[in-house]
Structure 1
Amino acid sequence: MTRPALAAFCLAFAMPLAAQQTMPPAPFAYRQLEDPAQEAAAQELMETLRCLKCQSQSIADSDAPMAGDMRHQVRIRVAAGESPDEIRSWLIQRYGDYVSYKPAVSATTWPLFAIPLLLIAVAGAILLRRFRKRA
């Protein structure tokens, strides 16, 4: 192996190490709120928010640093007295509709609700035509 090729090979395997996060986790990423009612409200909200790094886990279940930051934001906002709807709106405004497992029907999300219904109607029409031809 030539020296430049060896250097490129070593650099390619060293890059993931350089990408590791060196920042400590946010204070409320892994620590619960002292008030059990507030923590329950925060936990309930965190179960309905998607981790943007993991994409298949809620921020309550994810160990990704970004999910920890989002848990921290949810907990400090709940402790400050904000309602879950206000926090959800803030997170959607910041990260987009994708962050919520319960998207609201809007100009950008209506196809998510309409297309499955349209596919069911088309499948029903096809099945109905086939049964009429046989009878």
Structure 2
Amino acid sequence: MPAGDIDSVICWHAKTPEHVRKLVWASDPGWMWVYVETPLIRACIYSKKGYCVDTNGGMLVRQRSGWFSSSRVAYFLQKHDESEFQNIGSTYRRSKDVFRERIARYIDDDPELAERIRRSNAYRDKTILMLRDYDPTKY
């Protein structure tokens, strides 16, 4: 069965079945782990080298297979009414203005949250978690 015919893959570790993880397919870049999902927006993490579920239920992103070989790991966003994903940058480093601005521009239909993200100084993963509050229907 072609990957594009699969809606999503749900996985968990046998020791922690209460921690369910979801993977979705996009033609570009491929299989992605759903990091945040609401009815209005979804944020995913793509890792070129793949993923695995840890015994504590957490999702591990494979990053290295040797000393000098690191994987491309990036965040992708998708609004509920769009078919394509938007690449907003690497998962590494502290949130810099460019990263926050990319997110804010993408969610400019929720100006309050966009401004909160612009003013934020959180690490990238915490900035992405702010998308749980995304709601353009307020305006």
Normalised to the residue count of structure 2, the TM-score between the two structures is 0.26
Question: Whose helix proportion is higher, 1 or 2?
Answer: 1
Answer with 1 or 2: which has the greater Rg: 1
Question: Whose strand proportion is higher, 1 or 2?
Answer: 2
Bigger relative contact order, structure 1 or 2, given CA contacts below 8 A and separation 6+?
Answer: 1
